Amino acid sequence: MIKSGIDHDAIVKMFSEASTKQGEALRTAVSDATLKALQGRELTMENIKKVVKSMTQAASTGAAQNVASPVDVEAMLGKAFAGMDAALLQAVEANHKALQQFVGQGAALQDKQIKSAIGNIEKMEDMFFAAVTKAAQGVSEPMQGPWSNVLDAMKLKGTGTGAQATQSVEQLVAQAQTALRDGRAAAAKTAQAMMDSYAALVSGVLIGMSQGLQSGSGATAAVKTKKK
């Protein structure tokens, strides 16, 4: 079953058969699957939420079905969160690269669409936590406790997505200030035309950034190895 670009059944099977020792392979496979799902649609906040929700639900269902002993469910869900974080970090970077093009074309940070795009970058981490939290509230009760612990720990630690978002916004502001000092205000109309299809452009940037997606199939295969 494909749900929001996620092969739900494949993710469920992967988590249901995984052992705790296969945590890193889980993280890589979740990251690859999440990134692939994000690449298959315009990179809007609503679409990102749907992908995160689907992955959270699939990982939770699989972990609940896992009968391996001993298996650290919280650790497995932590790897699922880390995998999604790695994919969203690349989504932030794709937004950053797209916005760099607009600022380089002379677009001002005060432009309504530019401000909205930067605002979405700044809200990416909060959106991530909110989407996982909401999805986790709807999973089976035995999974809610582990998810709560994972989320509490990550809120204290912070995410790669949040760190990248902060850095991206700082760099964009610095780039805009440099452009203003250099008097580069031309080509604003071109930048505006590009902004009209911003979400589609970011999706294209994300696809161009992606590397080693095929290796993700190897990671998935590693998770599916027979348990000892």
Place of tokens 């889980």: 26
Q: Is 212 helix (H, G, I), strand (E, B) or coil?
A: coil
**pLDDT at residue 189 greater than cutoff 60:** no
Q: What tens digit of pLDDT does each residue of 94-122 get?
A: 999 999 888 877 777 788 888 999 999 99
Q: What tens digit of pLDDT does each residue of 116-167 get?
A: 999 999 999 999 999 999 999 999 888 999 999 999 999 999 999 999 999 9
How does DSSP classify residue 227? P
pLDDT for 21 equals 73
pLDDT for 2 equals 74
pLDDT for 198 equals 80
Contact 138, 57 (CB under 8 A): yes
**pLDDT at residue 218 greater than cutoff 50:** no
Q: Is 6 helix (H, G, I), strand (E, B) or coil?
A: strand
Each domain of the chain, given as residue ranges in start order, spans: 7-223
Rounded Cα–Cα distance for residues 18 and 25 (Å): 9
**pLDDT at residue 22 greater than cutoff 70:** yes
Q: Kindly state the average pLDDT of the residues 207-228.
A: 52
Give the global pTM: 0.80
Q: Please report, for residues 19, 81, 84, 141, 179, the alpha-carbon distance to residue 147 in angstroms, rounded to integers and kept in the order given.
A: 18, 9, 14, 10, 45
Higher pLDDT, 22 or 220: 22
pLDDT band for position 220 (50/70/90)? Answer: very low
